[in-house]
Structure 1
């Protein structure tokens, strides 16, 4: 690492520390008796929101060198921080609370990409507070992951999974997805989820599609536990995705563990700063494919980001057209699900640019510009 890289990384760490402290204060206010509509702590709340907005803008401008996902997530954080500030200034406390917990999704997406050797010590006192423990379990788990208290989050998620109140597969699917992501991508642990999923399997309706999905997840976890990944992470990710694509799974959810495992390999590969533009392009395509399958209807357009990067880096590659087709499918799901929905003109223009780049098999005339979500 060069001295300039080290300086940049330290500056980013300091910026993120300030962002964390302000978010922690805002969560404490939200969990206290004085909500965002109260005059109590008004000056402190306004100061925290202004500093959050300022530091998020700094992070978005230079906080993630050669990290396309980091740049994107920082830009979303910047946008949400500004909306938070403006909503508070307009006296919209419910909107402030809604946006604040939307920010946790951004933090979760960023913090669960790569392995973490230990939980954040600075967040321990906050997540152990009585106010945090009094939160609904789902909200508490989200905050714990957002604050990088992964062991605490896993315990909370296991409590949710084991509770009869959360037995409905529609409710449980999102919880299990987060639980598996933290175990596989952050902890690198294929063993811990197995008994938890076995318990879910036992409680599931026999012969149901849900039970079939859980059984498939267990098979994948046991396989990856017994056959750990070694060697080239990009090739391993190719193999996992190829295998999961060729198998006739019971449902689209059945390959969840395989796609999370592949995404973990790809995130680690990209974090190693590979030099081959073609391989980086392919990794982004595979990551876009995996993320789309993991989060089919995610409001954060991460899959779109990875697919667009894949096309921009190598429009003549054999995966460029499949990436484009998947990108169009995902965007149409975002914009056209509701009656009367249509693609915004800027989205249509960007898709046209990408298609022209593929057809001409030359670099896109425009630099990377992430297609906005709906």
Structure 2
């Protein structure tokens, strides 16, 4: 290649570099002077070509994966450090506030009252809304504690809640009944299931001869008096005269204890029969329990026989597989004890 040709190529190459640089500068000035149009055009192109946008994004992430991960790690480290710094600063402010309040509590209360008064005067509606939000945040963060206090209060003084509930029902009885009907039909399957469980429990109690379960509430005063009376009865020290009288009393015999237990069972059955309109229920339940016991015994015997047969089959299979020589003939006796012919099955240990 001659020097003239090399010089012309170099001049052309410099010209191309200058042309590309001028083009880049022209496009940069256009983006600066037509920024809104460029953004709108880019937005329309992305909306019209979502698959290309996704492809370019995936290609860029694949090409710069390590760089993206490194940037994400650095960003998370910075965020965590910033959060720790903010938490430490908040704790320092809270500690400083506690120290200032402990140093002069009356002055701090006066300052808070003046500050709240100024806020209320400047923006009454905003002050009330901020107060509602503060109260709501406090209730949400102490919900379990407040519910426990309410439960303890209602448990110790149920008459107050009962009287309030009665007053509300007297004033809004129609609304309460309508809400109950709405809830019942919205959860009808669950309500029917609960009713079925309750009837089954009551039927089982009657079948066992137990009385119906009836619980009643007592006030805190009654509960305290009952607890004190029980504690006094069970912890009171007996005098020597009382102990001697108890020792001299005749002891019941085993026959008397058994008779007392039988009379107790009969009394419970009589109470169950008196409470039940179906007079034949105790006899029917007794027969039903007897049939259930017999069926359970039959099932147990069948299960035991099946398990024994299964274990015998397994043993025969193992003996047949492991025996090296032929099975030795042995005497087999039938049910009446007579000698029978030996089994014809080859191999295995005799069982």
- TM-score w.r.t. structure 1 length? 0.17
Bigger relative contact order, structure 1 or 2, given CA contacts below 8 A and separation 6+?
Answer: 1
Structure (1 or 2) with the larger CA radius of gyration: 2
Which protein is richer in helix relative to its size?
2
- TM-score w.r.t. structure 2 length? 0.18
